[in-house]
Structure 1
Amino acid sequence: MASFDFDQAEGLRRMLAGPKPRIYTFLSAESADEKSAMLVNVAASLSQAGRDVLMLDACIASEGIAGRLGALKSATLQQVARQERSLDEAVQPMPQGFGVAALRRGPHRPLADAAEQARLNDAFGILSTRADILVVDAELDRDDAFAIPALAESEIVVQVANSPASIKAAYTIIKRVNGQLGRRPFSILVTGASEKEAQVVYENMAQVANRYLAVKLNSVGSVPADEHLKRAMKLGRAVVDAFPLAGASVAFRRLAGRFVVPDAAAAG
């Protein structure tokens, strides 16, 4: 039996001792490769900014960030919730400077009952105290819900590109979450676009979301198209580390600053 009671006590001490960690849940209207590159560089940029960063793979149907980084050898959060493993076993350090944990490994097994769901939420809450910032790679299930219910309380960031298909997909994501959780704000990150293009994408999406859903969108910035991103991923590194002067690196560092100081994003 894993020492889950000890983990809960440690988590309570951490929550009482320090500031509440910031949790960013990322949904994407882009390909898995583009989402992975974005997540790795967001986490690496935050780490370079001096933050203790942990990334959680909470994907259900598709391969998430843990699988793409080869970080599926540790215990999973579901095992922690089932009291089969301890939380310490669930976090794997990565060379890019952040830790990675995974909700599951292999086929998704639904939670047995409400008690197990509550334990998963507890395990997630304690995991979030292990870092200053928790970055979550997420997707919606068939019922438009998150695999971990507590993610509904986090800040949801939707990645979108400057193309009609991506914009339509991003709006559909927002509409699905809105239908499940009710009205709430969303943050928009535009990738593969210039600042001018990204601003147009954001303004158009914000106008439509406000008009048809009464939903407020906030812009957290943009990242330009940059071949250095693909080159860095092939090297198994973050672009901010491998090519620090690249345009994408500058954008990711600026983006990290907005996540560190979230009020800046709200004002954008």
Structure 2
Amino acid sequence: MANFDFDQAEGLRRMLAGPKPRIVTFLCATPEDDKGAMLVNLAASLSQAGNDVLVVDACQRDYGIASRLGVDRNPTLANVARQECGLNQVIRSVPQGFSVARLSRRGEWPTLAESRRLANTFEVLVKQTDIVMVDGELAEGEAFPVRAMESSEIVIQVGTSAESIKAGYALIKRLALHLGRRPFGLLVTGASEAAAKVVYDNMASAASKYLAVQLTSMGSVPADEYLHRAASLGRAVVDAFPLAGASVAFRRLAGRFSSSGAVR
């Protein structure tokens, strides 16, 4: 059985142990609203801790963070790659304290040549910030839209339901088949620490036994009605309700990121 506490700390160190900028791609096996809430609040918590944070919406099918925050009409990195606008035009600061950019518009599948230019544009963008959080999904053919996402840290968000756990494991299996043997992070939301430990232990054991894949714990966030209240106010829970259980969890998670020494 994996050691939850050790793996959680070790996973966070690995996640941000390399040189800046750090790119962390988040994939989700929970409802869309859960993913958006997690990204907004984690990014806001990292920002409050003094980090320069950019969230890149790389979703083609799912409801991405740019749509959630109402900045989905801005030009995209694909527009920059086609020399239709400047890089500064795609970055939008949001009231929650971080910046957002979209990779491309829904249904916009670039050609091979455009994909190369898009990848170069993405690499230029990420060098301008401390940490880049990618709101990601697997595209057609089990591939990511830019190669940098494949080599980034990859974190899968799951809940405690059997459906979410099954979907999360299927996602890990797809990633392992496409990317080969490598570690992945697991973040459990809507769960107490005890429940998250059970989910992590079971998934880590199955992934190791049947896929030869190592999972590391990225932590957990409890279910909290204040998450929804903050979202209805257009604010992060750590700002609107700083004493809420979810706020404590997000600050703890952001603190672990920062204490790794790679995010300042």
CA contact (8 A) 2:20 2:131 kept: no
1:1-268 equivalence runs, <5 A: 19-105=19-105, 107-113=106-112, 115-262=113-260
How far residue 131 of structure 1 moved from its aligned partner, in angstroms, is 1.1
Structure 1, residues 164-189: CA drift from partner, whole Å, max 9, x if none?
A: 11100001111111111111110110
- Partner of 2:187, secondary structure, is strand
Is the contact between residue 54 and residue 130 of structure 1 (CA under 8 Å) also seen in structure 2?
A: no
Q: 1:73, CA displacement in angstroms?
A: 3.0
In structure 2, the CA distance between the partners of 1:168 and 1:180, relative to structure 1 (3 Å rule), is same
- The CA distance in 2 between the partners of 1:51 and 1:64, in whole Å, is 22
Q: Secondary structure at the match of 1:51?
A: coil
Secondary structure at the aligned position of 1:97 is classed as coil
Cα–Cα, structure 1 residues 233 and 262, in superposed 2: closer, same or farther, change >3 Å? same
AA paired with 1:233?
A
Equivalent position of 2:7 in the other structure: none
> Deviation at 1:58?
0.1
User: In 1, distance between residues paired with 2:261 and 2:142?
Assistant: 28
1:175 aligns to what SS in structure 2?
Answer: helix
Quick one: percent identity of the two aligned structures? 59
Letter in 1 for 2:217: S
Compared CA separation, residues 134 and 149, structure 1 to 2 (3 A): same
Shift of 1:261: 4.0
Deviation at 1:252, TM superposition (A): 0.3
1:145 CA drift (Å): 1.2
Give the AA of the match of 2:45.
Answer: S
Q: Counterpart of 1:196 in 2: which secondary structure?
A: helix
- The one-letter code sitting in structure 1 at the alignment partner of 2:109 is P
Report the Cα offset of residue 96 of structure 1: 0.4
How many angstroms apart in 1 are the aligned matches of 2:94 and 2:76? 16
What is the deviation of 1:263? 8.4
RMSD: 1.4
Instruction: Provide the aligned length of Structure 1 versus Structure 2.
Output: 244
Q: CA 1:171 to 1:263, structure 2 compared with 1: closer, same or farther past 3 Å?
A: farther
TM-superposed CA distance for 1:142, in Å, is: 3.0
Q: Does the 8 Å CA contact 2:81/2:118 hold for their aligned counterparts?
A: yes
Which amino acid letter does the alignment assign opposite residue 218 of structure 1?
Answer: T
Alpha-carbon distance in 2 for matches of 1:78, 1:50? 29
Give distance in 2, aligned partners of 1:212 and 1:240. 39
d(CA) in 1 for partners of 2:139, 2:117: 20
Which 5+ residue runs of structure 2 have no aligned equivalent? Answer: 1-18
Partner SS, residue 43 of structure 2: helix
1:199, distance to aligned residue in structure 2 (A): 0.6
Change (3 A) 1:88 1:263: closer
Instruction: Give distance in 2, aligned partners of 1:154 and 1:121.
Output: 13
- For residues 263 and 25 of structure 1, what CA distance do their matches in structure 2 show? 20
**Worse-superposed segment, 65-74 or 216-225:** 65-74
Shift of 1:147: 1.7
* CA deviations over 1:34-63 (Å, ceiling 9, x no partner): 110000001000000100000000001122
Q: Which deviations, in whole Å up to 9, do the C-alpha atoms of 1:10-57 show, x marking residues without a partner?
A: xxxxxxxxx521111000001111110000001000000100000000
SS of the aligned residue for 2:141 comes to coil
**Shift of residue 256 of structure 1?**
1.1
CA contact (8 A) 1:60 1:147 kept: no
Measure the CA separation in 2 of the matches of 1:181 and 1:245: 40
* Counterpart Cα distance in 1 of 2:211 and 2:256: 26
Could you say what secondary structure the match of 1:83 adopts?
coil
